[in-house]
Structure 1
Amino acid sequence: MTDVPKIALIIASTRDTRFADKPAQWMLKQMEARSDLEVELVDLRDFDLPLFNEAASNMWAPSSDPRAVAWQKKIAEFDGFVFVVAEYNHSITGALKNALDQAYVEWVRKPMSAIAYGSMGGARALEHLRGIAVEMQMAPVRGAVHIGGSDFFAVHPMGGNAEIETIEEHLLPAAKNALDDVVWWAEATRSARYAEAKAA
């Protein structure tokens, strides 16, 4: 094992006009400032995933599409996940749901959190994501970052388009709490996975 857990920061929207890059870059900065984790930005745009069309989840049968296999190999590299969550009609993006479905064993027994955004702070989308994560045997942590209400409209291009740093005093405590949780659970679960693999 490496000294610190490796955490993926996953951009979950693929639209040309997405807002996701702004919160992703801010969250990346928070994660890079820490010494207790290693972070990699993972953008769903880079994986060209087809709509799920396998015989079954890779928990039951190997995937046949090389794009799905490449995605699974990437996800397998990480000890935990922070998703950049857009709220589309009270839920997560179709791109994120498809990406979750394209893997299974690679998500299991790893923690997840999020930086979510929307008029309601992406809260409804994140609740859906947490439910999906439980089914995929991830460990959703309580802490998360929500950009909502007047803060969201202050930084969104269709609002004030200000830099996120102008509202970060509202976000920093939640970011620290969420990342503390992710690191704690990543350390615990990777130690358990390592011990289990060693025993096998």
Structure 2
Amino acid sequence: MFSRAFIRSFSSVQSGTKHTLNFKNYLKLPTGQIGSYFHDVPLSLNKQDKTVSMVVEIGKQTHGKFEISKEIEGNPIVQDTKKGKLRFIKNVFPFVGYPVNYGAIPQTWEDPTFVALEQLKGDNDPLDVVEIGDVKSHLGQVKQVKVLGCLGLIDDGELDWKIVAVDVNDKRASELNDIVDVQQKMPGLLDSLREWFKDYKIPDDGVS
């Protein structure tokens, strides 16, 4: 088991200018070497505390759609593209940009050959995390979160799980232990998130 101090010792290094096609954000290991966000960040699963590592791809209230690249050597975080254009998401009332800190759980994978709910298969990506804490995280940040539950979504015919979690350092972390607590302590949030995930890809003036 890795300590939280060890997890916090991960950092990142950037290549290129943000919001350009040549931008890349690489994981910097505690040794100073460049690593992979997928493979070199420990899962650090603690079943008793229900905590796990999270790699932040998108900070809350931002609009750029970033993700860890499966194709580029070293698996840096890059901005997603569609038809050769950088992807940005529009505001979906009442939220500005992404309503949560969004990212992935390292060392995990949604198997595209495994048939699960509604006869759907995984999306061939790590498990996504929606972190509902108050503090805005930054792209490339590695932190510990408490798992509270999940949302099962269907995206382009694939099963796309969204793990609902809260930063262990958030002021509500001690009060939130499962999805029922989220419904009671943060009423309306889960319903709003479901609607947001339905609507945020609807094309706007930019590329969605």
Return the TM-score normalized by structure 2: 0.26
Q: Taking structure 1 as the reference length, what is the TM-score of the superposition?
A: 0.27
Higher helix fraction (1 or 2): 1
The structure richer in strand per residue is 2
